[in-house]
A and B are shown apart, each in its own frame.
Chain A
Amino acid sequence: MSDITKQSLSELVENIKNKKISSSEVTKAFIERSEKSKELNAYITEDYSNALNKAKQFDEKPNLDLKLPGIPMAVKDLFCTKDIRTTAGSKILNNFVPTYESTVTQNIWNEGAILMGKLNCDEFAMGSSNETSFFGNVQNPIDKNLVPGGSSGGSSSAVAAQLTPITIGTDTGGSIRQPASFTGTVGLKPTYGSCSRYGIVAFASSLDQAGPMAQNVKDCALLQEVISSYDEKDSTSIDFKRNDYSKELTKDIKGKKIGIPKEYRVDGMPKEIEDLWKKGIEYAKDCGAEIIDISLPHTNYALPTYYIVAPAEASSNLARYDGVKYGFRAEGENLIDMYEKTRSEGFGAEVQRRIMIGTYVLSSGYYDAYYLKAQKVRKLIKNDFDDAYEKVDAILTPSTPSSAFKIGEKTNDPVSMYLNDIFTVPVNLAGLPGISIPAGHDAKGYPLGLQIIGKAFDEQNILNIAYAMEEKINFKNNITDWWIK
C-alpha cells in the first residue's frame, strides 16, 4: 500500500478499525518515508524498532475501541518520554533520558498510538524558525532552504511531509500556529489549562500550552480530544467539561458572529496577507457567519509585553539546568566556574539572550518598570478580548504577517524574527484558544494561514468554524518531495 502516508489520520483510523490495514503496515510506511526524508532533519531521536515492535504487539491483540488504534506518531522533543531521550533541542539536555512520561503523551499512548521518535524544535522552544536548535535547521517540505517555522518546526515539517500522520507541538507565543501556517497544515493552541503541562520541558509557564498539529481540522479535533485532560499534577490545569471535539464537529456555523480586529492591520503588512484576510472574511460569510468589526486596542503592546513576561519566566525555569543533577556538565575550577562553563557551553545564543533579558527585567530596580508593568498590560490585553467576546463568538485574523522565509534570512535580526509572532502572541497572553488553518498561497507559492481565536474553553466553536471554512477554502499543499532522491 504505497499511499498509506498520504492518508489522513481519520482515514488511517478508519482503515485500521476496518482491518483494511494493520498498525504494522502503517508504522512501516511512515518509518520508511521518514528514513527517506533525513534531509528535512525533522527528527532528533528516532525510535523505529520499538515502534515496529509495538505495532506488531498491537496487531496481535488489537484494541479497536481506542481513538488512535495502532497509529504511529512522532512528537515534539519538548515532551518528556519515558526511557526515550528528551533534549528540548538543547545541548544541555543532549544526554537526558526521562524516567517519566508527560501527561499529554501518556494520554496519546493510552488511546493506542505508538511513538516513532522525537521531533526537532527550537532550543527550549525559543525561536520562530527552528534555527536555534542544537540539532540543526529543519527544512520546510514546501521548498528547499525554507524555514518550517518554529518553535515546533520539526513537527510542522514532519506533518506537512507526511512523516507522521499527526503530531503535537507546544505554543508559548505562536509555536504551533506559525509553523502550521508556514507549512500549509492545521495547528491548534488550546485554552491555557486545557492540556496538562506536566512533563513538558518548561519555557514560560504562564503561556506554555501543548496542542495538536494535523493535515486537516478533523484530525486536529480528534487529537485535541485525546490530549486535553484535567491533571492534578499541574496546578494550572483546569477542570472543565471537555467535548468529544471530533464527534461534535459540525460545519454548521450559520449565524456565528466573527470579529475582525482593526488593530491587526499592522503597518507594513504585505498586501498578500491583507488579501488573504479579505478572502477569509468572504469564506466565513459564505459559511453563514456574520462579520463584525471589533477593536482590540492594546494589540500594539502585546509583543513587548510578551518579550518581558516570557523571558522573565524562562530565566527562572531554566535555572535548573546547572550541570549538577542531569544533562550536560562542563568541568570547572569550583561551583561558580562549573555553572558558568556549563551554561555558556550548554545553551545556545538565543536561549542565553532570553535568560539575560529575563534576568534583567526581574532585577530589583527594574522589576516595577518591566515585569510588573507587563503584567498590568497583559491584563488589559485580556480585557480587550473579554470586551470583544461580548459582541462576537470568535475572531478572525491572519496567522502570521508573512509566509515562510529563507533559512538564515532573519538569524541576525532577532527583532524582525520576534515580529513574526505579532498575531499569535496576544492569544497566549490572554490564555485563549487559537487555531491556524491553511487558507492560500503567496506569490512564491508558499502557504499562508488564517487564525481563528475563540473564547476560553470554546475549542469546539473554533474547530467548527475552521472545519466549515476549510471546506470552502479547499486548500491544496504543493509538496513535490524534492528532498527524496
Chain B
Amino acid sequence: MSKNKSEYLIKRHDNQYEVVIGLEVHAQVSSQSKLFSTSATKFGAEPNTQVSLVDAAFPGMLPVINEYCVKQAIKTGIGLKAKINKRSVFDRKNYFYADLPQGYQISQFKDPIVGEGKVILDMPDGQKEVGIERLHLEQDAGKSIHDLDHKNTFVDLNRSGVALMEIVSKPDLRSPDEVNAYIKKLRSIMRYLGTCDGNMQEGSLRADVNVSVRKKGSKDFGTRCEIKNVNSIKFMQMAIEYEANRQVDLIEDGQTIDQETRLFDTKKNETRSMRSKEDAHDYRYFPDPDLLPLEVSDEFVKNIKSEIPELPDEKKKRFIEKFKLSPYEANILVSDIETSNYFENVIKKSDVKLATNWIIGELFAALNEKNLEITESPISAGNLSKLINLIKDGTISGKIAKTVFEQMMEGDKDPKKIVEEKGLKQESDPKALEALIDKVIDDNRDKATEYKSGKVKLFGFFVGQVMKVSGGKANPQLVNEILKKKL
C-alpha cells in the first residue's frame, strides 16, 4: 500500500502516466591539474589565467593523460560498484565552437573507463536500486561570455580541458523525488571518495536530463527528450515536472513527441526546443590518434581499491548494527562524510543515543538557522561530547543543557566552564532539595491539602514550583521522588 502512496503519476481524465527519467551527470574531477595538461583547475581565477598551450590548442601541442584523473575515475567507478574497464579509449568528438579551441572534445565514446554499476537510494517507502550504464572521462570546454559586450563574445579558457566524469544512469528513475535522492547519493559517494566536490553553484556537478512518459503499466518506453545542462536539483525537478506534463498533454491531444534536445528556462519555468533529432550534430567520433588506448593493470586497480574509504551504504549498515540507530537516523548521519565524521567524533567519548538526538535535533536546527555547514559548526565535536556527558552524569538537566548549547553556539566554549560560570549545575543534593520542597509545600498549604484529598493532577504544579524556585537547576528525577514522599 505504501508503495502506491509515493508513486509519481501524471493524471489526465482516466489516464495515468508514469515518468521515465535517465540522467547524464557531469561531475568535475577533483584534481590539481587538467585532464591532458598541467594547468591549474582552481575555481574563480581571473579569466584565461589557467590556460596552457595545450588547452588553447596551439599548433603541434599534444595531450598527455593526467594519471591522477584516471585514478579518480576508477575510484568513483568502484564507489558505484561498477565494472572497471582495464582498457579504454579516448575519442575525439568533433564540433566547432568558439570556446572549444581544438575543434573537438576528447571524450570516451565506445570504450569508457567504467562500465555498469549501481546506486542504492533510500526512499520513504524503502530502497530503490538505480542502474549505472557507464562512466567516462572527458574534457570540459571553455566558457563563452555573451553579455559583456553588445557585439562581441568573450571566451574564458580556464575551464577548457578540465577533467569531467560523465556518469550515465539507466532510465530507472521515476519521479523528481527519486532524481533528488539520486543526485544527492551520487554527490555523497563522490564526496566520501574525494573525487568530486559536488559543488553545484560552481558548476562541479550538472546534468542532462532525459525524460519520457508512458501510460501506467506499459512496458515500452515513450519517445524521450533531453534537457541539457541543468545545474541544480531544484531546476532538474522543475524541468522534469514541466517536461513530463508537456509530453502528457501532447499525447492526450493525439500528437506525437519529437525526439529532441531542449533547454530549461529557469525564469519562465519551461523547457524549450533547442534542436530536433534531424538537426543533431554529427560529431564524427573517432579514436584520438594523439593518445594510445588507456590500459590499467590489475595492480593499479587493486591499489586504488585499497584506498577506498567506508562508503555511505556500508557506514549506514554499521551505524544501525553497532550503534542501534534507526535507519532514519543512520541515513541522516551518513548523508555526507563531514556529518558522519562529526558524529563519530562526538560518540568517541559520549552516549550514542543522546549524541544522535542532539546532532539531528538541536545542532542541525541551529546550523540551519545560521545557514552553516557542519564543517563550519561553532560547536566542536569535542565540546558537544562534553555537553552530552554533563547531561548523562546528571550535572545538568536536559533543559539547562539547551541554555548551555545556545551559549556554545555563540562560540566554541567548553560547556563545563559555562555551567560553572553561570552556576547552572543541577541540584542533586537530597537535603538541599528537601529544604526547597518543604518551603514550596509550606507556601502552598491549600494546594497540598487538595492534592491529598485526591486532586493528583496538582503534582505537576508542585514540580513546576520546585523547578522555578531552583532556577531550573533541581534534578527533576529527585524532585519527583522527594515530592511523592512529602506529599
Contact = CB atoms under 8 A, between A and B. Distances in A.
A201 B60 CA distance: 4
A325 B101 contact: yes
B289 A205 contact: yes
Interface string B276-295: 00000010111001111000
B60 A325 contact: no
A325 B59 contact: no
A421 B289 CA distance: 22
Interface string A86-122: 1010000100101110100000000000000000000
Contact of B284 (A86, A318, A359): A359
Interface stretch (A3-11, A360-368, A435-443): A360-368
Contact of B64 (A232, A322, A324): A232
B153 A335 contact: yes
Interface stretch (B92-100, B262-270, B437-445, B451-459): B92-100
A266 to B, nearest CB: 28
Contact of B104 (A88, A234, A316, A364): A316
B249 to A, nearest CB: 33
B155 to A, nearest CB: 7
Interface string B310-324: 000000000000000
B289 A206 contact: yes
A192 to B, nearest CB: 11
A324 B290 contact: no
A38 interface: no
Interface residues of A, number: 42
A316 B57 contact: no
A367 B291 CA distance: 20
Contacts of A197: 60, 62
A435 B350 CA distance: 79
Contacts of A325: 56-58, 101
A313 interface: yes
Nearest to A99: B53
A326 B289 contact: no
B59 A322 contact: no
A80 B289 CA distance: 20
Nearest to A375: B287
A322 to B, nearest CB: 6
A82 to B, nearest CB: 12
B290 A205 contact: yes
Contacts of A233: 62, 64
B60 A80 contact: yes
A432 interface: no
A363 B286 CA distance: 10
A236 B290 contact: yes
Interface string B454-481: 0000000000000000000000000000
A319 B103 contact: yes
Contact of B60 (A199, A319, A364, A367): A199
Contacts of B286: 312, 316, 362, 367, 371
Contacts of A363: 282, 284
B102 interface: yes
Interface string B155-171: 10000000000000000
A200 interface: yes
B290 A322 contact: no
A204 B286 CA distance: 13
A316 B59 contact: no
B63 interface: yes
Contacts of B101: 320, 324-325
B409 interface: no
A367 B109 CA distance: 14
Contacts of B291: 235-236
B234 to A, nearest CB: 32
Interface string A234-271: 11100000000000000000000000000000000000
A234 B62 contact: yes
B104 A319 contact: yes
13 contacts: A80-B60, A96-B59, A201-B60, A234-B62, A235-B64, A235-B290, A316-B94, A316-B286, A319-B102, A324-B98, A325-B56, A362-B285, A363-B282
Closest 7 A/B residue pairs (Cβ) = A319-B103, A205-B289, A362-B284, A206-B289, A199-B60, A320-B57, A201-B59
Given A320-B59, A367-B284, 15 more contacts: A86-B59, A200-B60, A201-B59, A201-B60, A234-B64, A235-B65, A235-B292, A236-B292, A316-B104, A318-B103, A319-B102, A324-B98, A335-B97, A362-B286, A371-B286
